[in-house]
A and B are shown apart, each in its own frame.
Chain A
Amino acid sequence: MLFFPAAQQTSHVTGTEILKCQHLRKTFGDLTAVDDVSFAIEPGQTYGLLGPNGAGKTTTISMITGILERDGGDVLISGRPHNTTSTWGKKQIGYVPQDLALYPDLSARENLRFFARLYGLPRAGIRPRIEEVLQVVGLAERAKDPVKAYSGGMKRRLNIGVGLLHGPPLLILDEPTAGVDPQSRNAILESVSALTGEGVAVLYTTHYMEEAERLCDRIGIIDLGRIRAEGTRRELVGLVGELDRVSLTTDGTRDVPELEALPEVRKTSVQEGHLEVMVQDARKALPRILAAATDAGVTVRAVEVHEPNLESVFLHLTGKALRD
Chain B
Amino acid sequence: MRAMLLITAKDLRQRVRDRSLLLMAILVPFGLAAIFSLVFGDVEDQQAPTFVVADQDRGQIATTFTGQALAPLERRGVLRLKKAGTEQDARTLVERGEAAAAYVIPAGFTRDVLSGRPATLRVIGNVNARIGTFVARSVADAFAAEVRYVQVALAVKGGGSPQEAVAVAAPVTLENLAADRRQLSIGEYLSAGMAVFFLFFTVRFGFSSILDERRDGTLARLLAAPIPRVTIAFGKLLGGIVVGVVSMTVLVVAAWLLLDARWGHPVGVGLLVVAGVLAATGVMAMVATVATTAEQAGNVHGVVAVLLGVLGGVFIPIQQMSGALEVLSLLTPHRWFLEGLADLHGENAPMLATGPTLALLGFATVTTGIALTRLGRMLRT
Contact = CB atoms under 8 A, between A and B. Distances in A.
A85 B227 CA distance: 8
A88 B221 contact: no
A282 interface: no
Given A84-B229, A95-B224, A105 B17 contact: yes
Nearest to B212: A103
A65 B17 contact: no
A87 B221 contact: no
Interface stretch (A112-120, A209-217, A265-273): A112-120
A105 B224 CA distance: 21
Given A117-B6, A118-B6, A103 B218 contact: yes
B313 to A, nearest CB: 37
Most buried by A among B18, B223, B227: B223
A117 B226 CA distance: 11
Contacts of B216: 100-104
Contact of B221 (A68, A95, A110, A120): A95
A162 interface: yes
A88 B14 CA distance: 29
B13 A93 contact: no
Contacts of B59: none
Interface in B2-18: 2-3, 6-7, 10, 13-14, 17-18
Nearest to B11: A103
A62 B221 contact: no
A99 B14 CA distance: 20
A121 B64 CA distance: 88
A90 B226 CA distance: 5
Contact of B225 (A62, A88, A99, A118): A118
Nearest to A96: B221
B224 A102 contact: no
Report the interface size class on chain A: 20 to 34
A80 to B, nearest CB: 13
Chain B interface main SS type: helix
Interface in B220-251: 220-229
Contacts of A91: 226
B221 A105 contact: no
A115 B216 CA distance: 16
A119 to B, nearest CB: 6
Contacts of A99: 217, 220
B354 interface: no
Contacts of A102: 216-218
A105 B228 contact: no
B68 interface: no
Contacts of A178: none
Interface in A66-106: 66-68, 84-85, 87-88, 90-91, 93, 95, 97, 99-106
B381 interface: yes
Contacts of B222: 118
Nearest to B225: A118
A93 B224 contact: yes
Contacts of B227: 87, 118
Contacts of B221: 95, 97, 101, 115, 162
Contacts of B380: 68
Contacts of A88: 226
Contacts of B225: 90, 115, 118-119
Contacts of A110: 13
Contact of B223 (A66, A100, A106, A120): A66
Contacts of A105: 14, 17-18
Interface string B1-45: 011001100100110011000000000000000000000000000
Nearest to B7: A118
Contacts of B13: 106, 110
Contact of B220 (A67, A114, A115, A117): A67
Contacts of A97: 217, 220-221
A103 B217 CA distance: 9
A99 B218 CA distance: 9
Contacts of B3: 118
Most buried by A among B18, B216, B220, B380: B220
A68 B380 CA distance: 8
A88 B227 CA distance: 10
A67 B224 contact: yes
A104 B228 CA distance: 24
Contacts of A68: 380-381
Contacts of B228: 85, 87
Interface string B179-216: 00000000000000000000000000000000000001
B217 A106 contact: no
B162 to A, nearest CB: 83
Contacts of B223: 65-67, 84
A67 B229 contact: no
Nearest to B14: A105
B6 A66 contact: no
Contact of A120 (B7, B10, B224, B226): B226
Contacts of A100: 216-217
B220 A101 contact: yes
B10 A103 contact: yes
A117 B9 CA distance: 12
Contacts of A84: 223, 229
Most buried by A among B3, B10, B17: B10
A88 B380 CA distance: 21
A100 B216 CA distance: 7
A93 B17 CA distance: 31
A66 B224 contact: yes
A69 to B, nearest CB: 9
A83 B356 CA distance: 45
Nearest to B9: A114
Interface in B334-381: 380-381
Given A67-B224, A106-B13, 9 more contacts: A88-B226, A90-B224, A90-B225, A93-B224, A100-B217, A101-B220, A118-B3, A119-B225, A119-B226
Interface of A: 62, 65-68, 84-85, 87-88, 90-91, 93, 95, 97, 99-106, 110, 114-115, 117-120, 162
10 contacts: A65-B224, A67-B223, A85-B229, A90-B225, A97-B220, A114-B10, A115-B221, A118-B7, A118-B225, A119-B226
